[in-house]
Chain A
Amino acid sequence: MKFPNPHDVKSKTIPGTEGWERMYPYQYQFVTDDPVRNQYEKETFWFNDALHYPEPLYPFDTIWDEAWYLGLSQYNNRIFMVPPVRGVDHRIINGYIYISPVPVKDPNEIGSRVPHFMERAGYYYKNWDALEAKWKVKMEATIRELEALKIPTLPDIEALSVVNDAIGESQGYHLLKAYDDLINLGIKCWQYHFEFLNLGYAAYVFFLDFVQKLFPSMPTQRVTQMISGIDGVIMYQPDEELKRLAKLAIELGLDTVLASSQEWTAVESSLRKNGRGGEWLAALEKVREPWFNVSTGTGWFHYDRSWNDHMNIPLSGIATYIEKLKQGVSIERPTEKVRAERDRITAEYRGLIQKDEDRKQFDELLGCAKTVFPYVENHLFYVEHWFHSVFWNKMREVAAIMKTHGMLEDVEDIWLLRRDEIKQALWDVVTAWATGVTPRGTKVWPKEIGWRKGVMQKFKEWSAPPAIGTPPEVIQEPFTIVLWGVTNKSLADWSAVQEVKDPDSITELKGFAGSPGIVEGRARVCKTVLEVGQLQEGEILVAPTTSPSWAPAFAKIEACVTDVGGVMSHAAIVCREYGLPAVVGTGLATKIIKSGMMLRVDGSSGVISIVR
């Protein structure tokens, strides 16, 4: 397999984007002026992290990339001392992130890291549940702190209390501090994000690895089935709350009111006029915090608004469930069935193991994987959904102040600035406010932002190569293995699709077998969750990726196909629970498949046939 040289890719600058590098941290650049770094970059294998970033990264949104660059790497390399691998290095080309795990090359050094790893990782594995309980306390405290954080506006005249209480600090100072606090809370939250994740993934990956060594042809989805239906996974909670609200609406005789409009504001005012509407609205208020902080995307980007931001989305979910209930269709998750099937499958595979020592190892690794599984799922709700949803809106408060002071034309323009540029700009605003002059940035930032918007548009049209550089012989970094499914097969599939010139000639797409079963039906391509309203009963959902906010869509569809994600991605997990076929991580499904096409989705072998 041959992949392009990163510096060649980067050197072909898209016309009109010259100078784009200033939109991102300088250390993210592939370089030509530093021979040592240049050589390292050339010899390293970089793959496009399309799982997290299907779209080019906005300058501000780089914050979470930097946060995990640090978080993942420090836990691997400085805290748990994972013997054969350091951190994961990052680069950017045209807004697309390329990453690469950094191996420890010296065998002696690997050896000397082993005892540290055994002691440190061993401690976490051994005390997992107790430490996870502590984590939850830390995490919730951090989120509360974020929610309590005030972003002060700049008054023409400071409150008298500043004088009378001899406070000695201005709102200008507090604005600067609040911004720093906001950013620091975000970084802290991502410190916690990785506290358990590296080890969690390792336990999961190597359970998978062990079982597939015993059964080389066993599909990964069957292994993951063995750890399905575990208690304590909160990913389904937002969806469960919608079901509860749907039932309550029927109980209170409000079902027709809730189905009367797709606009939440209209429904809400009808509810207020209805005698029993108040009771339902009170129930709604109770579940909104925290459960409606679920993001409509992965939560990684400022444009991933939450249900709280877009009440039409949960409303449409509630309407779907009301309709199902009135048809007499069960809307409960088939938890008991999932567990029974999990236990049957586990017992049958276990029965096929020939050696006693292998059976013992299987039991131990399965136990370990089951222990880590809830965290691996639950951290997403705490960090990516709950924390992020609140965080983005706090940032919008900052943006509103900048807009008031003429630094931005629109609140949503803030995302085109790096977070250190925002800090600079706030200093400009605050000092100008204090001094009583016009901030210099009013003539700098709107112009720069206009230009950056054009650059982002061009970046979106650019098609990022899936991988660049020189592939290694082995990959040892657990995240790399699980999350991006970097295997021989996926790399070969990627390079195969790249070679096809005419997308209209493709009749077959391959991905990961996410959930078993075969279904034929019409495709419905939904690029975002806002489009799921178009889904018709019985269609096959084709999406870039899905997240918990997409949950109600699964009640309507026959199968699901995604561009990115492995067998542990949201779409695969939900489809397995509902018994729908899924093919995930196809790379290009939303580009090749059009709504209305007839598809045959084989979730057992991971093949999608397009009937043309």
Chain B
Amino acid sequence: MIRGAVGVDRQVGGALTTGSPLLCWLEECRKDSVALVGGKCSSLGELINIGVRVPPGFALTTEGYRTFMAESGMEREIKFLLQKLDCRDLEALEHTSASIRGVIEAHPFSTEMEDLVAERYRKLSVRCGIPAVPVAVRSSATAEDLLGASFAGQQDTFLWIRGINEVLQHMRRCISSLYTGRAIAYRANHGYFDDLMAIGVGVQKMANSYTAGVMFTIHPANGDRSVIVIDSNFGFGESVVSGEVTPDHFVVNKVALDIIDRTISQKELCYTVDLKTQTSQAIEVPFERQRVQSLIDDEITELAWMGKQIEKHYGCPMDIEWAVDKDLPSGGNIFILQARPETVWSKKQLAPVANAGASAMDYILSSMLAGKKVK
């Protein structure tokens, strides 16, 4: 689909009639929708379709992205800026990146596209029962997960966006994130053509999280596949992802789903939304709550169960972001925000524990000779 789009000068109407939509609901996306909506949105759609609870939302498709770029005539301008760039010159790289991003962010969508986005946003607000529902707007790259070239964290995510104008503005900022200095340099160094690149943008209800964090369906420290490891803190997951606090840490047995280890840490800060500015902000956790377990046992079990389903579906260990929404009653308030394959242990070629062709006797003998370490 990407290849087919190269150099084709297309109209909005034309795109619609060919059947590739400019926008779609997340639940319409599947694992194989990466070319259409990018990796992040396609994996969210896939999760919804396997029965995992994910905050609702919609996506600007790569078709929508190309339409935006083509309609505006920006493509030529960007090409021109890139042609004269020497990527080894870091200063020039940053300068060019800033120029390109400025061009993209300043350029409005067509009225037709604005109306389409506005309609989706309105419907989403109705679905959530919140007028002008606060959303997360995030880029969803097509190359990220496909090539194993992890850009994780490089494309931007904007939280607590509220109102159609803000949504449109941040969608453009996500699109422009395709042209960060690092992304430009990476493509130049690896021989990818910029004009083959496309990006999707996800617009998704903000989970108003009481508690949030990350979950690995493999032990990140020792590669043990029989456990699920959860890190959690009060508020949004930012404090956990960024490493600003030592989160609570739970190790759950993947087979039996019981908690086999727990460390309750002193959590001094957490992120919450500032209702006036609609931005997330770090606040101090009240002293008496700092050592309180941020995720209750039943939630841990439910979350781990979800993690197990996700892993089973994808067939590999997963790295998952999640949140417990405080606006919703328990039993329906745990959301998966993101799920991607774990990359560290999955790539490692682990040596077998057994000696090839060894009998039980051989193993007993060799283990006896090795003994048990005491110190």
A residues sitting closer than 8 Å to B (CB atoms) are: 1, 45, 82-85, 110, 114, 117-118, 121-122, 125, 202-203, 206, 209-210, 213-219, 222, 345, 348-349, 352, 354-355, 357-358, 360-362, 364-365, 367-368, 471-476, 478, 481, 486-488, 491, 513, 516-518, 602, 604-605
Contact = CB atoms under 8 A, between A and B. Distances in A.
A348 B308 CA distance: 12
20 contacts: A83-B369, A203-B364, A213-B353, A217-B222, A217-B251, A218-B224, A218-B227, A222-B255, A222-B256, A361-B353, A364-B363, A365-B363, A473-B373, A473-B374, A473-B375, A488-B375, A516-B253, A602-B259, A604-B258, A604-B259
Interface residues of B, number: 39
A82 B368 contact: yes
Given A206-B367, A222-B255, A352-B225, 10 more contacts: A210-B353, A210-B367, A219-B260, A348-B255, A352-B226, A354-B350, A358-B353, A478-B368, A602-B259, A605-B261
Interface in B346-374: 350, 352-354, 356-361, 363-365, 367-374
A361 B262 CA distance: 31
B207 to A, nearest CB: 28
B265 to A, nearest CB: 16
A217 B226 contact: yes
Given A218-B253, A361-B353, A114 B226 contact: no
Contact of B354 (A345, A357, A487): A357
B340 interface: no
Contacts of B40: none
A364 B373 contact: no
Nearest to B364: A206
A488 B374 contact: yes
B363 A476 contact: no
A84 B261 contact: no
Contacts of B254: 348, 352
B375 A349 contact: no
A367 B359 CA distance: 11
A217 B220 CA distance: 11
CB-CB nearest 5 A-B residue pairs: A361-B354, A474-B371, A476-B371, A215-B226, A604-B258
Contacts of B372: 209, 474-476, 481, 486-487
Given A365-B360, A368-B360, A516-B256, A471 B374 contact: yes
Contacts of B225: 215, 352, 354
B226 A218 contact: yes
B336 to A, nearest CB: 22
A357 B352 CA distance: 7
B229 to A, nearest CB: 9
A58 B262 CA distance: 43
A358 B354 CA distance: 5
B219 interface: yes
B166 interface: no
A118 B94 CA distance: 69
B243 to A, nearest CB: 22
Contacts of A362: 354
Contacts of B368: 82-85, 202, 206, 476, 478
A349 B363 contact: no
B297 interface: yes
Contacts of A84: 368-369, 371
Contacts of A219: 253, 260
Given A217-B222, A217-B226, A217-B227, A121 B363 contact: no
Contacts of A368: 360, 364
A269 to B, nearest CB: 50
Contact of A488 (B219, B255, B353, B373): B373
Nearest to B262: A605
Contacts of A367: 360
A72 B323 CA distance: 56
A289 B358 CA distance: 45
Contacts of A117: 365
B374 A361 contact: no
Given A202-B364, A474-B371, A516 B261 contact: no
B371 A475 contact: yes
Contacts of B260: 217, 219, 513, 604-605
A362 B360 CA distance: 9
Interface in B207-230: 219, 222, 224-227
A604 B258 CA distance: 7
A118 B358 CA distance: 13
A502 to B, nearest CB: 22
Contacts of B363: 206, 210, 361, 364-365
A215 B373 contact: no
Contacts of A513: 260
Nearest to B308: A348
Contacts of B373: 473-474, 488
Select the residue from B253, B297, B356, B370 with max chain A CB neighbours within 10 A: B253
Contacts of B222: 216-217
Contacts of B357: 357
A125 B251 contact: no
A604 B374 CA distance: 24
